Amino acid sequence: MKKEYFRKFNNSDVARLFADYPKVLQAELLNLRELIFKTAEETAGTGQLEEVLKWGQPSYITPETKSGSTIRIDALKGEKEYAIFFHCQTDLVSRFRKLFPKKFRFEGNRCIIFSKGDVLPKTELKQCISFALTYHLDKKRIR
């Protein structure tokens, strides 16, 4: 069996939170975390991604360039679902709905929900993550 690689935590509070997640969702959330980091590395203009706790959730910010809107991830109640959250006062989730109406399960204007065992549509999800990581850059280009 292939052992999965997950990058090292630089924030001990975030590491503790991941260790406390229900075991049934831990790998799912680590995979989502890894996808966020990989997308940031592949997305021009984002700079160094920083992982912090915001609202008690692992959060991903672009402090160096301030190019992005905060992305958060978390397990949901019941140990069967987890989500990726975007700032609810942006138009990000409405954009994702228009682009991928049948690919994701959305909740309001704040998140995409996944169930344990879902195969993530990585190409589409990376595009959503990339839009969030460059949200402020895109707003500057439009003006």
Q: Is residue 81 part of a domain?
A: yes
Q: Is residue 37 part of a domain?
A: yes
Q: Is residue 5 part of a domain?
A: no
Mean pLDDT, the chain cut into blocks of 10 residues (143 residues total) = 70 96 93 97 95 97 96 93 96 97 95 95 97 84 47
| Nearest residue to 11 via CA among 38, 40, 68, 49 | 49
pLDDT for position 130: 97
Q: CB count, 10 Å around CB of 33?
A: 20
pLDDT for position 6: 78
**What is the CATH classification number for the domain harbouring 101?**
3.90.1150.200
| Nearest residue to 17 via CA among 68, 59, 47, 50 | 59
Residues of the domain holding 26: 12-142
pLDDT for position 45: 93
Considering the entire predicted model, what is its pTM? 0.92
pLDDT for position 79: 83
CB 73 within 8 A of CB 58: yes
Q: How many domains does the chain have?
A: 1
Q: Is residue 33 part of a domain?
A: yes
